[in-house]
Amino acid sequence: MKSNRVLCSSSLLFCCLIIISSLSYAQETDDEWHFTLAFPMIWAPDINGTIEGGGDRMNISIPFGDIVESLDVGLLGEFYAQKNKWIYGLKFNYLKTKGESVTDPVLGGVIAPAHKVEDTLQLAVVDALAGYRVHRKVDLYTGVRYISTKMDISIRPEDPGGIISISRDINLIDKSIYDWLIGVTFHQDFNPHWGFKISADAAIAGDNDRDYMLDALLFFLLSKLNNILAGYRYFSIGNDAISNTVAGPVEYAIDFTQQGPTLGWAFTF
Please write the tens of the pLDDT for every residue from 68-89: 777 777 788 999 999 999 999 9
3-state secondary structure of 69: helix
**What would the pLDDT profile of 86-107 be if each residue is shown by its tens digit?**
999 999 999 888 877 787 887 7
pLDDT at position 203 is: 96
From the list 243, 235, 224, the residue with the least C-alpha distance to 259 is 235
Task: Please say whether the beta carbons of 196 and 203 come within 8 A.
Answer: no
**Integer Cα distance of 240 and 220 in angstroms:** 41
Give the 3-state secondary structure of residue 187.
Answer: strand
73 Cβ contact list (under 8 Å, min separation 6): 94, 95, 96
Write out pLDDT tens, residues 146-187.
Answer: 999 888 888 888 887 777 777 888 887 788 999 999 999 999
Q: What is the mean pLDDT of the chain?
A: 84
Sign of CA dihedral 143, 231, 122, 149: negative
pLDDT at 189: 93
Higher-pLDDT residue of 25, 116: 116
**What percent of the chain clears pLDDT 90, i.e. is strictly above it?**
46
CB environment 169-196: b (16+ within 10 A), e (fewer): eeeeeeeeeebebbbbbebeeeeeeebe
Q: Kindly indicate the confidence band of residue 10, based on its pLDDT and cuts at 50, 70 and 90.
A: very low
Question: Is the pLDDT confidence value at 23 over 60?
Answer: no
